[in-house]
Amino acid sequence: MSITVINEDFASKLDAEDPLKAFKSEFLITDPSVCYLDGNSLGRLPKKTIDEVQSFLLNEWGPELVDGWSHWIDQLNLLAIFWPEPPLAHRLDRLWFATPPA
């Protein structure tokens, strides 16, 4: 039986051989000394998410205001093909327009 010594050299070798290492640059890393391993988290913020949210704010929500609601609902309903339950927009309508208890 062989014993593998786990030390900094071993970890560096694994890092160098990691086939996914190219993806690291796609995430926002403000402190490279932090090893982020929280199991109940979305993880590190993808840089693409920043671009997509900024685009939505500047190109849709900002200029369209309430007029954008109709096509956002249509987009949500298109996603319903992936889930057997009612479309998200339908469930939100039931929540927002529910009759309050007497």
**pLDDT tens digits, one per residue of 35-72:** 878 777 788 899 999 999 999 889 888 888 888 777 77
What average pLDDT does this structure show over 1-26? Answer: 91
What average pLDDT does this structure show over 75-102? Answer: 61
- The answer to whether the beta carbons of residues 21 and 39 sit under 8 Å apart is no
Q: What is the pLDDT of residue 74?
A: 76
Q: How many CA atoms lie within 13 A of 54 on its CB side?
A: 6
What average pLDDT does this structure show over 68-97? Answer: 65
Tell me the residue length of the chain: 102
- The answer to whether the beta carbons of residues 56 and 75 sit under 8 Å apart is no
Q: What is the pLDDT of residue 4?
A: 82
Q: What 8-state DSSP symbol labels residue 5?
A: -
Q: Residue 93: which H helix or E strand, with range?
A: helix 88-96
